[in-house]
Structure 1
């Protein structure tokens, strides 16, 4: 058990001050890791069920063995670590636009970070996921045009509530078609969202992919005494 509160790292970025902090949650008596951008909370280790399910649900529908996958958004590492639990994963590129987040993992400031970084299947790439998704080069700077078996995305809050205006074009039919072009035949695109299923976005997925579904992930919320939900979209 750590001190009641500790700021582990902070840095100025073009989008504001990003900080990583650890605090003791007195009710559960566990350490909670949180990331803030200025005064906005981006990530928390308090509720991670849906981030883990993003990997599990997405890969469950990904056919084949020796899978090459992309994770969009490193964050606290929960989706990436869950993906590596699938023995079929041969290689994993994790794309994050913030060098600070990658550095936190390389410095092992987060639980499980050392294992993630040291896994030979893992490669951390500092870049803009959304620019890579729409480019001919794709997600592997060393192998332009390389295709992947699955892309798991957890960056924006929802398809409508994006962290930066430049991300919005991705959540359109044209943007999703460009992403589909980065996948092998039968490949999977999975997306985390903080909102309930969005019928309009589901319809867009249906226009672009052969199959798609929105799965509601429920988890206990001790703050409310009830349950909360996130959504994981999976499209093939």
Structure 2
């Protein structure tokens, strides 16, 4: 069994994106999947607690049944799979701007692809989350224009001020967040992951749009550093 394998590497609108698999003997008989954009690590299957918590914390605030939910950012699929564990979900739209990433899941090159493909509630949407979030004519679901959702779960940028793509910065304003909030039902929930601790300035910005804003710190063990690491999840409810 090789200790390292590059499964796929393709050009994208953001640069070269690659999917890799490695084994680190000290961690045992475990395949570790990684996504890189250029020389930057985007995600590792070693660190998924906060991605799963994004779904768990966000959906815990949602009321009702037969839920329609949007996940912004597919990654390795952990947020989407965690969401589908909620039996109230009727449909899940997973939005990603990179056809390559969706292809990895459809072709089951990543472990959770099979889980997502086998669940009829899941649907992949190829497109820019940020464009669709602000689109007041169609919105996230081209098959049902102006549809409203029970929850929108976002995990794309590293934090509210550290962007995967510089053009994403314009989304983090009262105007753009309010446009996205129009796609939520009454009492609908917007939740967002960040690699950093909660930012009071971003909490204040969210409060200009949402009736309530909560910030959660998610701690997890980092075996590479042999200590605890933290991410955060913002959970907001519309007015």
Give TM-score scaled by structure 1 length. Answer: 0.98
The residue matched to 1:145 in structure 2 has which SS?
A: coil
- Post-superposition shift, 1:61? 0.3
Partners of 1:53 and 1:204 lie apart in 2 by 22
Question: Which residue of the partner structure matches residue 25 of structure 2?
Answer: 26
The residue matched to 1:189 in structure 2 has which SS?
A: strand
Question: Which residue of the partner structure matches residue 130 of structure 1?
Answer: 130
Deviates further, 78-87 or 219-228: 219-228
Deviations 1:183-212 (A, max 9, x none): 000000000000110000000111110111
Question: Which residue of the partner structure matches residue 147 of structure 1?
Answer: 148
Counterparts of 1:109-128 in structure 2 under 5 Å? 109-128=109-128
Partners of 1:13 and 1:226 lie apart in 2 by 35
Partners of 1:140 and 1:163 lie apart in 2 by 23
Deviations 1:123-182 (A, max 9, x none): 001000000001111100111100100000000000100111221111111111011101
Asked whether 1:93 is paired with 2:87, we answer: no
Partners of 1:114 and 1:122 lie apart in 2 by 11
Number of residue equivalences: 235
Moved over 6 A (4+): none
Partners of 2:4 and 2:91 lie apart in 1 by 36
Partners of 1:224 and 1:82 lie apart in 2 by 26
Counterparts of 1:66-77 in structure 2 under 5 Å? 66-77=66-77
| Aligned 8 A contact 2:76 2:112 in 1 | no
Deviates further, 65-74 or 170-179: 170-179
The residue matched to 1:90 in structure 2 has which SS?
A: strand
Task: Show structure 2 runs of 5+ residues with no match.
Answer: none
* C-alpha RMSD of matched pairs (Å): 0.8
Question: Which residue of the partner structure matches residue 233 of structure 2?
Answer: 232
Question: Which residue of the partner structure matches residue 12 of structure 2?
Answer: 13
The residue matched to 1:51 in structure 2 has which SS?
A: helix
Counterparts of 1:68-217 in structure 2 under 5 Å? 68-136=68-136, 137-217=138-218
Partners of 2:173 and 2:202 lie apart in 1 by 8
